[in-house]
Every structure is written in C-alpha cells, then in structure tokens.
Amino acid sequence: METLTIKETISGVLESTLEHTNFEMHDELTAKDVDGWDSLSHMIIITKIEKAFNIKFKLRDLNKLKNMGSLVSVIQSKI
C-alpha cells in the first residue's frame, strides 16, 4: 500500500478519535504534538488502526511506534 494511503487512513482514525484535525501528517509527528493523544486515546487509536488495516500489532511493536514515520513502516511490514 502507498505510504500516502496509509497516512490518509491513520489521519482519519486520529480525526474520528480525537474529534479535531489540528495536526499535520509528517514522519516526525509524535503523540505529544497532537492534542488529546494521551495514553488512554493511544489504546483506542491503536485498536482502530489494527481494524482499519486488518492487522494485529505485537506487544513489541507498540514500543516502536515513536512517531508517524515508524507507525507507517510497522503497518507496511504487516500488510
């Protein structure tokens, strides 16, 4: 899948979970930069992303998701 398509899907998940679009999708984007992306919404976001791409993260994957770039590449490795 194209990186761009993946990012669009993630962006949609963020928007629907956090109910705002005050973020720009770039590789260095981290949870800290996005309003409302805390440890609780993180769980929700991860679950929705798993669903959207029909993948399942391993426990070890979760620590690798440091920024948007790494999130996209972990997803790419699974689809």
Residues of this chain that interact with another protein (CB under 8 A) are 32, 39-40, 42-44, 47, 58-60, 62-63
CB of 32 vs another protein, minimal distance in Å: 7
CB of 1 vs another protein, minimal distance in Å: 24
Q: Which is nearer to another protein, 23 or 42 (CB)?
A: 42
Q: Which is nearer to another protein, 1 or 28 (CB)?
A: 28
Hey, what long-range contacts does 10-16 have (CB within 8 A, 24 or more apart)? 10/49, 10/68, 10/71, 10/72, 10/75, 12/52, 13/45, 13/48, 13/49, 13/52, 14/45, 16/48
